[in-house]
């Protein structure tokens, strides 16, 4: 005679099955558990790596001859490999790795771009708030933003009579315009309802600036900052070629004068990677500050 299964026994079997299922899930191989993340990673990484490999192969085939005017990747590695493998060596005031030179240039960019960010946001907020300021200043901004960075260098050298503040001024005057223009556009696009709420709450000018203007215009501001930081990096490299020092720009000019083309190609890689990291860093800060509203 088969004994009926009691409620307690069914409950016990149910919990045993749950425990077994949980244990089985814990023992799932990592490859299966993170399959989606792994596929997304390779989907993002493999295409640029394959493209880069094909470009290097084509470059090697085109420049492999000894009579070629440009060095091949193999020649660059053999003649300038130390610059790649040892970026932070230091043996003298001008004998140092490219890592130290990039950091020197970045310090100048940090000062110039920092000043441009503060001044650009404040000036852009003023222009965006005032219709008369927009009519009077916007045409001037549109003209000044088209002036190449190196065109400002003689003026800055005449004014400051020193290469360090001159380079910082070139960074400042080059990067401020996209920040001003984008901030002004963001301020002008603040919804009318926000302004009405500020009027109802009787916010003063400082409170309105911090609580309404900056949060509402943040996506536009960070777009301007991303453009500005890229222009800052372009400006400092160009300025250092003429002002000298130990920055990455002067290294390229010195390598050209010494006919060290492989060194120049390695320096270009450093410049490109640094510029990419700067752009991604500003984009990340903008994403976090605007909770994803800024363009990433």
What does the H/E/C string look like for 169-215? Answer: HHHHHHHHHHHHHHHHHHHHCCCHHHHHHHHHHCCCHHHHHHHHHHH
Rounded distance between C-alpha atoms, residue 100 and residue 232, angstroms: 18
* Residue 9 located in a structural domain: no
Predicted pLDDT of residue 207: 78
Residue 86 lies in a domain: no
- Averaged pLDDT score across all residues of the chain: 83
Give pTM, 2 decimals.
0.78
Report if residue 92 sits inside a domain: no
Q: Return all residues near 119 (Cβ < 8 A) that are at least 6 apart.
A: 172, 176
Query: Exposed, middle or buried by CB within 10 Å (0-12, 13-18, 19+), for 198?
Result: middle
Question: In this structure, what are the phi and psi dihedrals at residue 163, rounded to the nearest 5 degrees?
Answer: -70, -35
Our CA angle for 12, 15, 20, nearest 5°, is 125
154 falls within a domain: yes
pLDDT for the residue 268: 93
* Residues 32, 103 within the same domain: no
* pLDDT tops 80 at residue 197: no
- For the domain that residue 119 is a member of, what is the CATH number? 1.10.3720.10
Question: Tell me, what's the pLDDT at 228?
Answer: 94
Beta bridge partners of 90: 96
Q: Who contacts 237 (Cβ-Cβ below 8 Å, separation ≥6)? A: 105, 247, 248, 249, 252, 271
As a whole number of angstroms, the distance between CA 90 and CA 94 comes to 9
Confidence of residue 263 (pLDDT cuts 50, 70, 90): very high
Residue in the structure block whose two tokens are 């603040």 = 190
Kindly state whether residues 182 and 36 are assigned to the same domain. Answer: no
Which pLDDT value is given to residue 211? 77
Looking at the structure, tell me whether residues 46 and 175 fall in a common domain. Answer: no
Are 136 and 279 contained in the same domain? yes
Residue 7 pLDDT greater than 60, yes or no: no
Quick one: pLDDT band at residue 40, thresholds 50, 70, 90? confident
Is 48 found in the same domain as 106? no
Query: How many other β-carbons are positioned within 10 Å of the β-carbon of residue 133?
Result: 14
Residue 57: band (very low, low, confident or very high) from pLDDT cuts 50, 70, 90: very high
Q: Poorest-confidence range of 15-19, 77-81, 215-219?
A: 15-19
User: Has residue 173 got a pLDDT over 90?
Assistant: yes
Please report the pLDDT score of residue 25 as a whole number: 56
* Encoded tokens for 147: 């002036």
Most confident of 3-12, 28-37, 163-172: 163-172
49-53, 64-68, 247-251, 252-256: range with lowest mean pLDDT:
64-68
Give the per-residue pLDDT at 5. Answer: 46
| Together in a domain, 55 and 199 | no
Residues 167 and 283 in one domain: yes
Quote the CA–CA distance of 6 and 103 in Å, as a whole number.
Answer: 75
Question: 28: pLDDT confidence band, cut at 50, 70 and 90?
Answer: low
Domain interval for residue 137: 98-289
Q: Are residues 53 and 106 in the same domain?
A: no
Average pLDDT over residues 113-129: 91
Asked whether residue 90 is domain-assigned, the answer is no
Residues 119 and 242 in one domain: yes
Between CA 269 and CA 252 the distance in angstroms is 12
Q: Answer whether residue 19 shows pLDDT above 80.
A: no
Q: What is the mean pLDDT of residues 142-156?
A: 89
The reply to whether 7 falls in a domain is no
Q: Indicate whether 293 pLDDT > 90.
A: no
Do 257 and 212 reside in the same domain of the chain?
yes
Number of domains composing the chain = 2
Asked if 224 and 155 count as a contact pair (C-beta separation under 8 A), the reply is no
Q: Are residues 248 and 125 in the same domain?
A: yes
36 and 162 housed in the same domain: no
How confident is the model at residue 29, as a pLDDT?
59
Q: According to DSSP H, which parts of 96-191 are helical? A: 98-129, 131-144, 149-160, 163-188
- Whether 5 is in a domain gets the answer no
Residues near 34 by beta carbon (within 8 Å), at least 6 away in sequence:
none
Q: Is residue 68 part of a domain?
A: no
């Amino acid at each position: 005679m088969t004994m009926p299964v009691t409620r307690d026994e069914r409950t016990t079997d149910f919990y045993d099955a749950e425990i077994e299922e949980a244990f089985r899930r814990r023992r799932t191989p990592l490859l299966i558990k993170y399959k989606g993340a792994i596929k997304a990673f390779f989907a993002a990484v493999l295409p640029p790596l394959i493209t880069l490999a094909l470009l290097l192969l084509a470059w090697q085939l085109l420049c492999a001859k000894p009579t070629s005017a440009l060095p091949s990747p193999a020649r660059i590695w053999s003649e300038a490999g130390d610059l790649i493998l040892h970026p932070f060596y230091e043996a003298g005031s001008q004998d140092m790795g490219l890592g130290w030179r990039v950091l020197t240039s970045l310090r100048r960019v940090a000062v110039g771009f920092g000043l441009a960010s503060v001044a650009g946001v404040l000036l852009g907020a003023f222009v965006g708030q005032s219709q008369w300021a927009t009519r009077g200043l916007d045409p001037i901004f549109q003209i000044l933003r088209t002036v190449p960075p190196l065109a400002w260098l003689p003026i800055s050298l005449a004014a400051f009579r020193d290469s360090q503040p001159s380079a910082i001024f070139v960074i400042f005057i080059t990067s401020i315009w996209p920040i001003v223009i984008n901030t002004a556009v963001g301020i002008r696009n603040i919804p009318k309802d926000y302004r009405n709420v500020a009027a109802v709450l009787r916010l003063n000018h400082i409170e309105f600036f911090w609580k309404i203007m900056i949060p509402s215009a943040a996506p536009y501001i960070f777009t301007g900052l991303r453009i500005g930081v890229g222009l800052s990096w372009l400006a400092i490299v160009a300025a250092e070629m003429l002002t000298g020092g130990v920055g990455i720009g002067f290294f390229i000019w010195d390598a050209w004068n010494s006919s060290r083309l492989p060194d120049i190609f390695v320096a270009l890689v450093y410049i490109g990677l640094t510029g990419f990291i700067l752009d991604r860093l500003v984009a990340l800060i903008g994403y976090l500050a605007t909770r994803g509203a800024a363009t990433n």
